[in-house]
Chains A and B, each alone.
Chain A
């Protein structure tokens, strides 16, 4: 039972480069989320998807785009990475009250 799988686990980008963070869940959940976590800031919501085909902005969406490819997958794209996007990114999903998280992606933008 894989739960929520995120790739990659680590990534270093140069300023201006683009990349996509992948997330997949095998629990048949409708809701999926992307968060970023910075020291002392807690988890901040970037985007979320309440169901396949729908996405909504969260607290900090600027500089990111998302795609809910199907019910299983929810990807996060950085079109032109900036040092301010250095962070740990978590994908999560839920159906009921408990959320399940991926292991996180540690992204450094230099």
Chain B
């Protein structure tokens, strides 16, 4: 099983829709997780962090389910500008090799 696996996508949704992506992780000791956003041909940038049960920032909600070892990203009222690839990231934690593990990304296209 890969360390981090994401919904393959692509997701094509109409403007205003609600869309959710999932990301599963294999290491139960992982303590924190992150969602990065990557625009076409650009570098990834941090979108949200998930440290405990969840985090909400405007239209974006990130949730963690430790029992099932997955995190989710929910986007409400989708905008055209939300079109991007969303990467799930498991950062270093104590006792691990210090490297960032990225999911393969989920591509979202919001249609007018």
Chain A contacts to B: CB under 8 angstroms: 31, 33, 35, 40-43, 45, 48, 50, 56, 58, 88, 90, 92, 94, 97-99, 101-104
Contact (Cβ within 8 A) B34 A97: yes
For B36, the closest partner residue in chain A by CB is A99
The residue from A42, A97, A101 contacting B32, defined by CB atoms under 8 A apart: A97
- A73–B44 Cα distance when bound, in Å, is 20
- A103–B32 Cα distance when bound, in Å, is 25
Given A33-B100, A42-B104, A98-B46, 8 more contacts at CB 8 Å?
A: A43-B44, A43-B105, A45-B100, A48-B98, A88-B41, A90-B44, A94-B100, A104-B43
For B49, the closest partner residue in chain A by CB is A97
Contact (Cβ within 8 A) A101 B44: yes
Q: Which residues of B19-62 have CB atoms within 8 Å of chain A's CB atoms?
A: 32, 34, 36, 41-46, 49
Contact (Cβ within 8 A) B45 A45: no
Contact (Cβ within 8 A) A56 B43: no
Give the bracket for the number of chain B residues in contact with chain A.
20 to 34
The residue from B34, B45, B105 contacting A101, defined by CB atoms under 8 A apart: B45
Contact (Cβ within 8 A) A58 B99: yes
- A101–B67 Cα distance when bound, in Å, is 32
Q: How far, in Å, is B69 (CB) from chain A's closest CB?
A: 19
Most buried by A among B34, B49, B98: B98
Q: How far, in Å, is A59 (CB) from chain B's closest CB?
A: 9
The residue from A40, A42, A45, A103 contacting B43, defined by CB atoms under 8 A apart: A103
Interface of chain A, helix or strand or loop or mixed? strand
Residues of B within 8 Å of A45, CB to CB, are: 99-102
Most buried by B among A33, A58, A98: A98
Residues of B within 8 Å of A103, CB to CB, are: 42-43
Residues of B within 8 Å of A42, CB to CB, are: 6, 87, 102-105
Contact (Cβ within 8 A) A94 B43: no
Contact (Cβ within 8 A) B46 A99: yes
Contact (Cβ within 8 A) A92 B87: no
